[in-house]
Amino acid sequence: MNSFTKKNTKSTAPARGSNPDRRQVKKKESTLDPRLFVKKAQPSGQEGFRTEKRFSELGLSSKLLQNIEGKGYQTLTTIQEQSIEPLLNGRDVLAISKTGSGKTAAFLIPIIEHALKDPRNYTALVVTPTRELALQIEEEFKSLSAGMGLYSATFIGGTNINSDLPKLARKLQVIVGTPGRLLDLSDRKNLDLRKVNTLVLDEFDRMLDMGFVLDVNKLVNRIGTRDQTLLFSATLEPGQKKLIDGLLSNPVEVKVSTGATTNENIEQQTIRVPEGQDKFEVLADLFANPEMEKVILFTETKRLADRLAKKLIQAGIKAGQIHGDKSQNFRNRMIEEFKNGEIRVLVATDVAARGIDVADVSHVINYQLPMTMDAYIHRIGRTGRAGKVGHAITFVN
Ligand code: ADP
Ligand code: MG
């Protein structure tokens, strides 16, 4: 066998059990201009984050208002100010607003208000691209709706589907999940999607891209007619206009940002590592700086994420990793340890790029150039949240 055939065989017939995802990301190189990743922060801080409008002006149920204030939210963020009212009025909404600007509460508060009006006949379905994001949204729902007798559940892959069934035994006002598991439950007739009144696609541009759109279309078709559809994200994909129009009916469009810009509270810089220099050494040296307190380090591949986590630990830096080849238990544990400070660095693939809200992430590091500007915006958006200042560092050759 000559070397050509050998190579050919290898690329078309991956070893049994190899993950198809891995082939996709392997050879691609980012074509983004490194100059895009240098930007002085122009922190608008809390000022840019919050408006003057108080939650008490919205005429919300008193228990809900109490829970909101109990979370320390005093005034509305800009996206909340612009979307909560139309949502309370039953309108469809397309909402674009920067990372960390409070989109979750913007859709959950009106959902809770609708649920309280008619708990026996109301169901909202919130669909997300990742399991961690689904869990996080349910957590926020629980804290906002505490003591109201409203019920929720999260249905995600990587868990035993039989453990979902007891949760479906009672009326749920809010269901959160990832598309695959929701469809499985619907296939098995355990979940009746026709009962959904409000559909939310969080990170909707991701939900409508190639990886998810078939599943999302299936879900939407099974839901059929509904009262409200809500689309939320920090980025907008111009090519998706038709899909979006097909989902929304006479929507209010709330665009707090253009959908193509990073959060101005993030200081962005690049580090050039010339060919031949040891990139890991440059990375490890960064951790001499005590300000690098809570760091998410993004890589393009799962394998590199594993390798970097291991090398960081060997270098005495507390690290863990999160990616699609890890069990859900492991992923949950890593997020937990990262939140409570047991690990300083979370090495991650893009599975952690969207939606994840961990307080006080000091730095996001891109070990490699991300493939798209949108990926960059979401990744670095894990820092500089809720009006705080954050830092992003991107390695370039
Ligand atoms: P996004 O979805 O826009 O990225 P999140 O909904 O995850 O943002 O919210 C980012 C952070 O801001 C969260 O920690 C959330 O608790 C906080 N937050 C949301 N709304 C308010 C508010 N009105 N006042 C203060 N903090 C808020
Ligand atoms: Mg969000």
Classify strands 228-233 and 266-272 as parallel, antiparallel or unpaired: unpaired
The C-alpha atoms of residue 94 and residue 81 are separated, in whole angstroms, by: 14
- DSSP-based three-state secondary structure for 83: helix
Model confidence at 4: pLDDT above 70: no
Query: Residues 234, 395, 389, 72: what is their CA dihedral angle, to the nearest 10 degrees?
Result: 60
Which ligand is closest to the CA of 104, given by its number? 1
For residue 94, how far is its CA from the centre of ligand 2 (angstroms)? 14
Model confidence at 47: pLDDT above 80: no
Instruction: Please check whether residue 127 is in contact with residue 210, taking contact to mean a CB–CB distance below 8 angstroms.
Output: no
Instruction: Please check whether residue 293 is in contact with residue 342, taking contact to mean a CB–CB distance below 8 angstroms.
Output: no
Q: Which numbered atom of ligand 1 lies nearest the CA of 98? A: 3
Instruction: Please check whether residue 144 is in contact with residue 71, taking contact to mean a CB–CB distance below 8 angstroms.
Output: yes
For residue 271, how far is its CA from the centre of ligand 1 (angstroms)? 30
Instruction: Give the rounded distance of the alpha carbon of 277 from its chain centre.
Output: 34
Instruction: Give the rounded distance of the alpha carbon of 136 from its chain centre.
Output: 9
Q: Which residue's CA lies nearest to atom 16 of ligand 1?
A: 102
Q: Which numbered atom of ligand 1 lies nearest the CA of 55? A: 23
Band of residue 27 on the pLDDT scale cut at 50, 70, 90: low
- Tens of pLDDT, residue by residue over 147-161, are 999 999 999 999 999
What pLDDT sits at residue 15?
Answer: 35
For the chain, the farthest-separated pair of C-alpha atoms sits apart, in whole angstroms, at: 76
pTM score, whole prediction = 0.92
Q: Which numbered atom of ligand 1 lies nearest the CA of 104? A: 6
Residue from 203, 204, 266, 357 to probe ligand 1 pocket by mutation (most atoms less than 8 Å from CB): 357
The C-alpha atoms of residue 247 and residue 249 are separated, in whole angstroms, by: 7
Instruction: Please check whether residue 246 is in contact with residue 217, taking contact to mean a CB–CB distance below 8 angstroms.
Output: no
For residue 379, how far is its CA from the centre of ligand 1 (angstroms)? 17
For residue 369, how far is its CA from the centre of ligand 2 (angstroms)? 23
Which ligand is closest to the CA of 360, given by its number? 1
Instruction: Please check whether residue 65 is in contact with residue 202, taking contact to mean a CB–CB distance below 8 angstroms.
Output: no
Q: Which numbered atom of ligand 1 lies nearest the CA of 357? A: 7
Which ligand is closest to the CA of 108, given by its number? 1
For residue 217, how far is its CA from the centre of ligand 1 (angstroms)? 29
For residue 352, how far is its CA from the centre of ligand 2 (angstroms)? 12
Band of residue 46 on the pLDDT scale cut at 50, 70, 90: confident
Question: Mean pLDDT over residues 180-188, rounded?
Answer: 98
Q: Which of 358, 359, 365 is nearest to 380 (CA)?
A: 365
- Beta-strand (E) ranges in 2-92? 50-54, 75-77
Q: Which amino acid is at 386?
A: A
Q: Which amino acid is at 238?
A: P
The C-alpha atoms of residue 57 and residue 74 are separated, in whole angstroms, by: 11
Q: Could you give the domains of the chain? A: 34-42+264-396 (3.40.50.300), 50-255 (3.40.50.300)
- Tens of pLDDT, residue by residue over 48-90, are 788 999 999 999 999 999 999 999 999 999 999 999 999 999 9
Q: What length is written for the chain?
A: 397
**Cα Rg of the chain, angstroms:** 22
Lowest-confidence region among 25-29, 88-92, 142-146, 234-238: 25-29
Average pLDDT of the chain is 92
